A and B are shown apart, each in its own frame.
Chain A
C-alpha cells in the first residue's frame, strides 16, 4: 500500500524549479502533488507523479541526485477534524511523522494526505484497523 515518492536535491537558486517542472512537462509526467522545503542553500523537492520510474530516470539523465522513497497516502474527508483523527492515531501508536503534504481530489473533493513515517507497515496496519482509507499508488495517481 506504499506509494512511491520522488525526492530531488535542489540548489536554492533561481530557475531550478522551473527547470525541473519543465522537464516533467516535456516528458509527459503528470505531477499530482509537490512539496519543497528549503534551508539556506538547498532544498529537497518531493513529488508524487503518475510515473515515478520514468520521472526518476529523466531527472537522473539531467544530472540530478534523485531517490524514490515510499510514503503513505490516506484519503480523508475535506472537513474540520478529519486530519486530527489520523495524526492522533499515529501519535497514540508511536508512529512518528517526518513530513506531510496534501492535495485535494478533483473527482471526490476528498483530501489526499501524503506522509512519510518512521514505520510505514505499522502505520498502514493501524490506519486500516481504525477505518482510515489508505490509498494505493494507482488510487493516488488518479485521485
Chain B
C-alpha cells in the first residue's frame, strides 16, 4: 500500500535529480530570505550557485540546535508572519523552545509525509485512529492527526493520559489504530490486560514515535494486545514526524527522500561517511517554506542503506536511532538535557552543585529521580523544611522540563564525583525491577 506511489517508488537516479533541484531551491530560499543563513554562508565562502551536484552539499555549513535557539523565536522564518498558519515547538534547555512555523503548503507536505508512513505501516481509511500523544505545541499529535484525517480514517483525538478512559473508548469505538509513545502503549496494553478487555479490542496497528521503541517494548505490546507495532522518526526542528517511518516489513525506517536529504557524518570531523557506516544523522528538509534549514545536525546516531525494500519503496532506510552524540535524554518522550536540570539546581542555596539522575522504568513508564546533596544545616530542625526544599526543586524542574520527577535529598559528598559526564546519569531503564 502506498500513499503517493509515484514518489515512493521513484528510481534512485530520479530521486537524486529531484533532490538536487530541491536542494538548490532550498539553499537559494535560505540565502535570499533569511539573513542568518546568508551570513553563515558568506562566512563559509559559499554561494548558492556553487551547489551544482548533490555532493556539493558538503560545502554548506551545518545548522545546530544552538543556532535555532539563538534565533528564537522567528529569526529563521523565511516568509512573512501572515503566511505562517501554524506554530509548533519543542522543549528548550533554558525554558525557551525551538519554534517551527508552517505555511499552508508546509502543512500539506507535512501531512502527506506522515500519511505515507502511516499507509506504509498499514493504515487505511477504514481505521479508527486513537491519538494518545499529548496535543499542544508538540508536533507529534497534530502531525499524525492531520495525516490520518487525510487518509480518511476516523480520528479520535483523545490526547495522552486518562488511561482507563482510553481503554473504554478503544472498546466502545472499536479503535483499530493507536498512536502513542511506545512506553505509553506498553502501559495501555498492560492496563487492557489487567482490565480483562483485550478480547474485546479491535486494535491491529500501532504507530509509535517520539522515543525509541526497543525490541523488548515492541514484543511486550505485541504479546499483550497482538498488534503490529511500527516506529517512526521526526524532530520538531525538521517539522515533526514524517521524516521517516517503518513499513510493514519493519526493516528500517523509510526516509521521505523527496522532502528530506539525509547524510551520515563523522560527528568529530563533520566529514560525510560512506553508505552503511554509522555516524550522526544530518538532515536537510527540501520542501520547507516557512522554516527552511540546511544540514541540521540531529545528534542522533544512525546508519542508512539505499537498497530497495521488499515493500517496493525505493527510499533509503535508516535504522532505529541507536544513540546520541550529546547527553540528551529522552524521558517519557520529552527531550531532557542535564544542563536544564543543572540550571534549576544551581538556584537553590540549600543544596550542593553535584547531582545524579537516575532513570527507571516502572510499569513500562519512565521515571526520573534527581539526587541532590543537602548542605543547608539550618533545615534540620523540621522534616517539613526538608520536604519543602525537595518539593520546591521538584516544582521548578517540572516547569523547566515539562516533566515530573522525584527529588531525593542525600548526604553531602555521597554522590560519586567523576570527571566524566557518564556518572551523573544512571539509566536503569533496560533493567527490570531496578
Contact = CB atoms under 8 A, between A and B. Distances in A.
B433 interface: no
B146 to A, nearest CB: 45
A69 B375 contact: no
A11 B414 contact: yes
A116 interface: yes
A135 B247 CA distance: 80
B408 A9 contact: no
Nearest to A98: B382
A37 B414 CA distance: 20
B377 to A, nearest CB: 4
B408 A65 contact: no
B27 interface: no
Interface of B: 374-378, 380-383, 386-387, 408-414
A131 interface: no
Contacts of A7: 377, 380-381
Contacts of B381: 7, 67, 69, 98, 116
A66 interface: yes
A66 to B, nearest CB: 6
Contacts of B376: 65
Interface centre among A7, A9, A63, A64 (most CB of B within 10 A): A9
A123 B411 CA distance: 33
B374 A65 contact: yes
Chain A contact residues, majority secondary structure:
strand
Nearest to A45: B380
Contacts of A8: 380
B411 A44 contact: no
Contacts, number: 53
Contacts of B410: 11, 41-42
In the complex, which range does the number of interface residues on chain A fall in? Answer: 10 to 19
A65 B386 contact: no
9 contacts: A9-B409, A9-B411, A11-B410, A42-B408, A63-B413, A64-B412, A67-B377, A69-B380, A98-B382
Interface in A1-44: 7-11, 16, 37, 39, 41-42, 44
A123 to B, nearest CB: 16
Nearest to B373: A65
Contacts of B374: 9, 42, 65
Contact of A41 (B377, B378, B408, B413): B408
Given A7-B381, A9-B411, A11-B410, 16 more contacts: A7-B377, A9-B374, A9-B377, A9-B380, A11-B414, A16-B411, A37-B383, A41-B408, A63-B412, A64-B412, A65-B374, A65-B411, A67-B377, A67-B380, A67-B381, A69-B381
A63 B377 CA distance: 12
A98 B384 CA distance: 11
Contacts of B387: 39
A65 B408 CA distance: 15
B380 A10 contact: no
A29 to B, nearest CB: 18
A43 to B, nearest CB: 9
Contact of B383 (A11, A16, A44, A65): A44
